[in-house]
Amino acid sequence: MIGGGFIRIIQAEISRVLRKPFFCVIPLLSLIYVLYLEIGAYNNALAFHKGTIELPTGVPNPFAGVDLSQMLYWFRWENITTAAGATYLAGWVGIILVGYVGAVWFADDLRTGVNKQIAVLQKHLMPVVVGKILTLALYMAGILIFIVLGSVLTTLFLSDVPGREPAALLRWIPLRNLMLYSIIAVMWACLAAMITLLSRSPVIGVAVGVMWPFAETAILFSGNSTIQLLIAKIAPISTIQSILAFVYDRFSWVIDSAPVILWTTSPPLTRTIENGVIQPYLLPISFLMTALVIYTFVAVGGIILGYYVSVRD
Amino acid sequence: MFELVEVTKKYRNHEALKQLRFVIEPGVTAVVGPNGAGKTTLFNILTGRIFPTCGTVFYNGQPVEKIRGNLGYLFEDPPFYPYLTAENQLGYFNALREYPVEAHEVERELEKWDIPPKGKKIKDFSQGMRKRLGLANAFLGNPQIVILDEPFNGLDLEGQQLLEDTFVTYRSKDRFLIFSSHQLERITLLADRIVILDQGRLVYTGETKELAEQATKVIFYLPGDISMDLLRTPLVLEIGKRGVWVTAAVQKEKGPLFLQHLAEHGIVPQSSRLLISELEYVFEEKQVSRRLPY
């Protein structure tokens, strides 16, 4: 079964997924979450620019005299893909939604026993499982594209947004970042799916997919022991955060020494101790990508193994 | 044909199948046995979905795993996605088949089993309708081998008739229909061959007709406190116990004489079943059952 068989399986999976209301709600929730932050950041930028924002007594306006178009840098269409996608994945809501989807993706097969029926209908399970994984990847990419398009369209209603150039959406950097975000989302979703299948429990899969980001961040931020600093270099959420920092290309969170209203900020979890001072730092992107790819391959392998085991009594 | 060679299946806590060795010829074969006899486990092994702990199953000389994807199977409780309609579900399964069929065949199968294709989601189906959909899936594409686990359970009369009509088409030299049922009357009518399992062991295998011909007895159900002396008569072939009743097996022709014998001692058989399915008697006889000393 090559080519036509794969397409047939993916078409069938897409058709199934679209008929489950849950999978139609998730993109909407994702978009609402990102738009909430987008519009909030826009309003903050205006308030800072006009000086109408309420600041604590004695605290000067850090953006006094800064050009509004510079403060709205991340709303430019050449940058909005980067900002929207990172907003979604850097925040708790986004990564949790991704983990939840991954955990639930195979849950119906386990819960209903459809996986066993499929195992009778199809001698070669590999194309079916890979087809389901590819559909999950398409779904994740679809959510990110949906978020980006929604963010772009929203800027049409935000009058001061500069740089609304449609061609800018198709430049290499935004497309590269969109691809990276998709891989991140697929990686995290597949890890949650793997837990569901290997434990044969959607509840455990959801628990891990949803709670792991909290747990990892709490553990890594709770101290600076050698082990914690080492784990921070390779743990999955830490890897994701570091990649997001890379795509922002903005380690100090400023542009040209002028402060910029950022849509979202999430410092990387990797850090080092220099002269007794904790300093966040970024690992090389090649290392981060290798980690991302390894995690994805491990997750995919775990899904395949878990599915094969699940069809046997 | 299917050939089972010393097939054993062990799970963590028990042995579901024990050293089965028999063949299944083409045609309609019934697999019978009490709950826990190993029927479903046997079926799962025949489909190639699970593997025996020991032994091998062959189909026409090849390991049975090779036929996976080329047979129809009905689970006792057919699995479906609850949020799909019948048409979507059957279309989904068809798309994932090793050998999918044309879309019009899916529609035809749904029509044959009188299943509403659209509008109603499977979660709103009755048990009988779910069973029909499972049967539609099992027979889709007219597979050469069909295995049905308790196909008659939950079906209404019309569905049962439809299923029986389908059975007829599998009474041929190159097709297999293997099914399980607790309805022994139906087995007598539909099955060419019968396999009896009990506690994972093979108790009997052979042609249904031969088995039925062996049964020429009648079983009487008598009060549990009946005196054994009363039953020590040449008329009684075998005494047993079934629940609260004592059973006495008598040659069919001697039935009236035995009734007279009972009446002379003021005993009236408690059960109205003076004549039961011959197959059921033999089925009982072939099982490991409790027997009272004669």
Q: Quick one: pLDDT band at residue A134, thresholds 50, 70, 90?
A: very high
Check: CB of residue B279 under 8 Å from CB of residue B212. yes
* Mean pLDDT within B147-163: 94
Q: Tell me: pLDDT of A161 over 50.
A: yes
pLDDT of B221 reads: 83
* Interface predicted TM-score (ipTM) of this complex, two decimals: 0.87
Model confidence at A255, in pLDDT bands (50, 70, 90)?
very low
The answer on pLDDT for B180 being more than 50 is yes
Point out the residue among B66, B79, B82 whose CB comes nearest to the CB of A116: B79
Contact A99, A189 (CB under 8 A): yes
Q: Of A9, A112, A312, which is closest to B96 when you measure between CB atoms?
A: A9
Instruction: Give residue-wise pLDDT tens across range A11-62.
Output: 999 999 999 999 999 999 999 999 999 999 899 889 988 888 888 888 888 8
Are the Cβ atoms of B51 and A128 closer than 8 angstroms? no
Instruction: Select from A14, A12, A167, A144 the least CA-distant residue to A81.
Output: A144
Which of A192, A228, B271, A108 is closest to B262 using CA atoms?
Answer: B271
Contact B100 A8 (CB under 8 A): yes
| Pick from A144-148, A226-230, B23-27, B81-85: least confident | A226-230
pLDDT, mean of residues B205-228: 80
Contacting A with CB below 8 Å, chain B residues are: 11, 41, 44, 47-51, 65-66, 68-71, 73, 75, 77-84, 88, 91-93, 95-98, 100, 137
Residue B7 confidence (pLDDT) above 70:
yes
The pLDDT value given to residue A274 = 66
B63-66 long-range CB contacts below 8 Å, 24 or more apart? B64/B2, B65/A123, B66/A123
Positive/negative CA dihedral, A49, A79, A279, A292: positive
Query: In this structure, is the dihedral angle defined by the CA atoms of residues A104, A110, A111 and A115, taken in order, positive or negative?
Result: positive
Edge to edge, what strands does the sheet with B201-207 contain?
B71-74, B145-148, B176-180, B27-32, B193-198, B201-207
Which two three-digit tokens encode residue B65?
């795993």
* DSSP-assigned letters across all residues of B33-48: -STTSSHHHHHHHHTT
DSSP tag of B235: T
**Mean pLDDT taken over chain A:** 88
Per-residue pLDDT at B277 exceeds 60: no
Tokens 């308030």 label which residue? Answer: A47
Per-residue pLDDT at A158? 94
The pLDDT, as a whole number, for residue B282 is: 57
pLDDT for B234-264, tens place per residue? 988 888 887 788 888 888 778 888 888 888 8
Task: Read off the pLDDT of each residue in A158-172 and give the average, rounded to a whole number.
Answer: 93
Between chains, do A112 and B98 touch, taking CB under 8 Å as contact? Answer: no
Which of helix, strand or coil describes residue B150? coil
Beta carbons within 8 Å of B266's beta carbon, 6+ residues apart: none
Give the mean pLDDT of A254-274. Answer: 56
Instruction: Specify the pLDDT at position A59.
Output: 87
Q: Is residue A285's pLDDT more than 90?
A: no
Structural tokens at position B190 = 């539909």
A229 or B151, which is more confident? B151
The answer to which of A102-106, A196-200, A274-278, A289-293 has the lowest mean pLDDT is A274-278
pLDDT score recorded for residue B271 = 54
- Averaged over A217-240, what is the pLDDT? 86
A9 contacts on B by Cβ (under 8 Å) = 95-96
pLDDT at B284: 59
User: Of residues B196 and B67, which shows the higher confidence score?
Assistant: B196
A189/A170 Cα distance (integer angstroms): 26
Q: Which has the minimum average pLDDT: A205-214, A267-276, B203-212, B225-234?
A: A267-276
Topology annotation, domain B2-213: Rossmann fold (3.40.50)
Q: For residue A251, what pLDDT band results from cuts at 50, 70 and 90?
A: very low
User: Shortest CB distance from A19 goes to which of B44, B83, B97?
Assistant: B83
- The yes-or-no verdict on residue A257 having pLDDT over 50 is no
Classified as helix, coil or strand, B220 is strand
Interface contact flag, A312 B50, Cβ < 8 Å: yes
Question: Which has more confidence, A282 or B196?
Answer: B196
**A168 or B34: which leads in pLDDT:** A168
Q: Where are the domains of chain B?
A: 2-213, 215-286
The answer to whether the CB of B6 falls within 8 A of the CB of B50 is no
pLDDT digits (tens, 9 = 90+) for B127-136: 999 999 999 9
- The residue with greater pLDDT, A295 or A230, is A295
For chain A, which residues lie within 8 Å of any Cβ of chain B, measuring from their own Cβ?
1, 8-9, 11-12, 15-16, 19-21, 108, 112-114, 116-124, 128, 311-313
Mean local confidence (pLDDT), A149-177: 94
Residue range A268-274: average pLDDT? 67
Tell me if A8 and B95 make a contact (CB, 8 A cut-off): yes
Per-residue pLDDT, B252: 72
Helix (H, G, I), strand (E, B) or coil at B146: strand
pTM: 0.85
Indicate if the alpha-carbon torsion angle A230, A231, A233, A234 is positive or negative.
positive
- Higher-scoring residue by pLDDT: A199, B173: A199
User: Residue A265: helix, strand or coil by DSSP?
Assistant: coil
| Dist. CA A204–CA B60, nearest whole Å | 44
CATH number of B215-286: 3.30.70
pLDDT attached to residue B292:
44
CA distance B161 to B186: 11
